[in-house]
């Protein structure tokens, strides 16, 4: 009998030399609590990151934000990832994501929404999923701000490949089917090179999106069946790493500076209100951290 | 730059931004119209609402409907389902109208973005 209880959100957070993921986790958790009836949030992290969190943020903010902090050290595996901050600035940072599949075991909840720390939940869209008996749900479709299509390798794993699914948001319960899903994820991780040849995706960067894409394809009977729920076909809304946050009018009202993919020096302003946002330009989010936290504090004082 | 050309470019940029905001709003409305019911996914538009109302008017209390994923879904309580559809539809349309009115009033990029 499972001891896990209730509904909640889990997020993984391992800092690196370039990006302070704790800031992102604080923002993402505050947004989730604000939009989903003060839902429980568990942070899964390591000693070094927790120590930095305690040094750099006040205890009150941490306690208000995270209901539980689980220390789960992760073995270092080199996984450098290229990041962009506008079309003109590029940097590399270690990407620690090798234990994300362990969330099935780590979660204290019976029904869990696993979210990335760069995902801002600004409405109650995901509430419905906790009232269903869907074992697993992920986003199958995505869209970039400015109504831009995803890149080709974000629709299929290769030109003639299987569907791409996003691991940014994963809902799961404690059923046998969910366990199977995470077991496949782990299996793909452990045999990364083999699967990269089989499914023809670049093996240099370990991406959990590819693991879940393979797991979804297998669980859908090696075709495009709909055993895995796709959040009613709703697309994930991504902000490109080459775009920037121009202004935050309110916590649920963002203005972005969106670059033109063909003529990168051209930009357009796009405004999004009450929409869940995947902020892929992490430095942009970092720059806005003080503003966002101040808005949350101001909201509490009203 | 020639002042007339500058104004023309400014207006063109405004129209691009406006068109973009309209598309975004339409997509947001479609998300709000999506209903998850009895393990099926339905779209709360006038067609679905009218069909369910027709079934109810012809004396049916339950029925099988094909959802947007082409799955046959047994709706055990058509009345409750109709209420859910109408609720989603109304919420979506209210937001669509309110946001659409705001966009209509904005005559330049600055006011569109609430800068």
CA distance A132 to B41: 12
Radius of gyration of chain A (CA): 19
- Using the beta-carbon criterion (under 8 Å), do A125 and B41 form an inter-chain contact? no
Q: Which pLDDT value is given to residue A229? A: 95
User: Can you tell me the mean pLDDT for A204-224?
Assistant: 93
| Domain-located, residue A66 | yes
Chain B contact set for A269 (CB, 8 A): 17, 109, 112-113
- Using the beta-carbon criterion (under 8 Å), do B21 and A226 form an inter-chain contact? no
Minimum CA–CA partner of A133 in chain B? B39
Confidence class for position A302, pLDDT limits 50, 70, 90: low
Minimum CA–CA partner of A249 in chain B? B114
Which of B110, B27, B96, B41 is CA-nearest to residue B73? B41
Collapsed DSSP state (helix, strand, coil) of residue A87 = coil
The DSSP secondary-structure symbol of A152 reads G
- Per residue in B10-41, pLDDT tens? 888 899 999 999 999 999 999 999 999 998 99
Q: Which pLDDT value is given to residue B8? A: 86
Is the CB of B90 inside 8 Å of chain A's CB atoms? no
Residue A259 main-chain phi, psi, to 5 deg: -85, 160
Q: Which pLDDT value is given to residue A3? A: 86
**What is the reported pTM?**
0.92
Summary mean pLDDT of chain A: 94
In chain B, alpha helices (H): 3-32, 46-57, 78-105, 109-112
Q: What percent of chain A has pLDDT over 90?
A: 92
- Using the beta-carbon criterion (under 8 Å), do A268 and B16 form an inter-chain contact? yes
**Domain ranges, residue B22:** 3-112
CA A124 to chain centre: 17
CA distance A142 to A276: 12
Chain A contact set for B24 (CB, 8 A): 147, 270-272, 275
State the CATH number of the domain containing residue A217.
3.90.550
A137 close to A216: Cβ distance less than 8 angstroms: no
Confidence class for position A301, pLDDT limits 50, 70, 90: low
Q: Which residues of chain B have pLDDT under 70?
A: 1
Q: What percent of chain A has pLDDT over 70?
A: 99
Chain A contact set for B114 (CB, 8 A): 249, 253, 255, 271
- Using the beta-carbon criterion (under 8 Å), do B20 and A128 form an inter-chain contact? no
| Domain-located, residue A242 | no
Residue partners of B81: CB distance under 8 A and separation at least 6: B37, B38, B52, B75
Across the interface, of A233, A271, A274, the residue whose CB is closest to B41 is: A233
| Domain-located, residue A132 | yes
Across the interface, of B16, B36, B113, the residue whose CB is closest to A128 is: B36
Min Cα distance A300 → chain B (Å) is 24
Which of B87, B109, B103 is CA-nearest to residue B42? B87
Structure tokens at A101: 């599949």
Cβ-in-10-Å burial (0-12, 13-18, 19+) of A97 comes to buried
State the CB neighbour count (10 A cutoff) for residue B84. Answer: 17
pLDDT at A191 over 80: yes
pLDDT at A160 over 90: no
**Domain ranges, residue A126:** 7-81+93-139+163-233+284-301
Collapsed DSSP state (helix, strand, coil) of residue B10 = helix
| Domain-located, residue A35 | yes
Q: Which pLDDT value is given to residue B61? A: 97
| Domain-located, residue A270 | no
Report DSSP letters for A93-136, one per residue. Answer: EE---TTGGGHHHH--SSEEEEE-TTEE--SSGGGGGGGS--SE
- Angle among Cα A117, A121, A125 to the nearest 5 degrees reads 140
Min Cα distance B31 → chain A (Å) is 6
Pairing of strands A236-239, A253-259: unpaired
Structural domain count of chain B: 1
CA distance A300 to A85: 32
CA distance A268 to A259: 7
Structure tokens at A161: 């490949």
Structural domain count of chain A: 1
Give the C-alpha distances (Å, rounded to integers) separating B63 from B43, B50, B79, B89: 17, 14, 11, 21
State the CB neighbour count (10 A cutoff) for residue B115. Answer: 13
Q: Give the orientation angle of helix A21-35 with respect to helix A47-56, to 10 degrees.
A: 80
- Per residue in A11-60, pLDDT tens? 999 999 999 999 999 999 999 999 999 999 999 999 999 999 999 999 99
Is the CB of B68 inside 8 Å of chain A's CB atoms? yes
Give the C-alpha distances (Å, rounded to integers) separating A137 from A42, A67, A178: 19, 24, 10
Minimum CA–CA partner of A266 in chain B? B13
CA distance A52 to A60: 15
CA A63 to chain centre: 22
User: Can you tell me the mean pLDDT for A87-112?
Assistant: 95
- Per residue in A1-15, pLDDT tens? 468 999 999 999 999
| Domain-located, residue A170 | yes
Min Cα distance B54 → chain A (Å) is 25
Asked if this assembly's ipTM is beyond 0.90, the reply is no
């Amino acid at each position: 009998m499972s001891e896990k209880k209730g509904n909640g959100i889990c997020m993984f957070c391992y800092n690196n030399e370039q990006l302070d993921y704790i800031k992102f986790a604080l923002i993402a958790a505050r947004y989730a609590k604000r939009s989903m009836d003060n839902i429980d949030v568990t942070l899964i992290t390591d000693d070094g990151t927790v120590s930095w969190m305690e040094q750099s943020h006040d205890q009150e903010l941490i306690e208000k934000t995270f209901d539980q902090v689980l220390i789960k050290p992760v073995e270092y595996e080199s996984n450098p990832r290229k990041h962009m901050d506008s079309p003109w600035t590029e940097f590399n940072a270690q990407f620690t994501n090798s234990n994300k599949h362990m969330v099935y075991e780590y979660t204290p909840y019976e029904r869990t929404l696993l979210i990335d720390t760069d995902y801002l939940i600004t409405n109650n869209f995901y509430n419905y999923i906790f009232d269903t008996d869907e074992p697993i749900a992920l986003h199958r479709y995505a869209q970039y701000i400015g109504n831009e299509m995803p890149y080709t390798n974000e629709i299929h794993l290769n030109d003639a490949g299987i569907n791409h699914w996003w691991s940014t948001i994963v809902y799961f319960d404690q059923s046998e089917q969910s366990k199977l899903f995470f077991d496949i994820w782990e299996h793909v991780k452990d045999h990364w090179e083999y699967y990269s040849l089989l499914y023809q995706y670049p093996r240099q960067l370990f991406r959990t999106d590819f693991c879940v894409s393979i797991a979804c394809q297998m669980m859908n009977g090696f075709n495009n069946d709909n055993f895995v729920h796709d959040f009613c076909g709703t697309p994930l809304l991504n902000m490109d790493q080459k775009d920037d946050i121009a202004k935050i009018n309110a916590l649920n009202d963002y203005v972005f500076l969106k670059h033109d993919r063909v003529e990168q020096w051209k930009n357009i302003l796009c405004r999004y209100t009450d929409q869940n946002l995947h902020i892929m330009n992490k430095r942009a989010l970092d720059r806005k951290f003080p503003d966002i936290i101040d808005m949350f504090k101001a909201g509490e004082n009203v | 730059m020639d002042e007339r050309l500058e104004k023309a470019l400014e207006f063109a940029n405004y129209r691009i931004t406006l068109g973009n905001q309209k598309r975004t709003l339409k997509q947001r409305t479609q998300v709000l119209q999506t209903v998850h019911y009895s393990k099926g996914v339905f779209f709360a538009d006038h067609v679905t609402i009218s069909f369910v109302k027709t079934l109810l008017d012809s004396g049916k209390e339950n029925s099988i409907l094909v959802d947007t994923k082409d799955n046959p879904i047994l709706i055990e309580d058509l009345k409750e389902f109709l209420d859910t559809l109408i609720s989603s539809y109304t919420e979506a349309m209210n937001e669509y109208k309110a946001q659409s009115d705001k966009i209509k009033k904005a005559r330049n990029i600055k006011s569109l973005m609430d800068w």
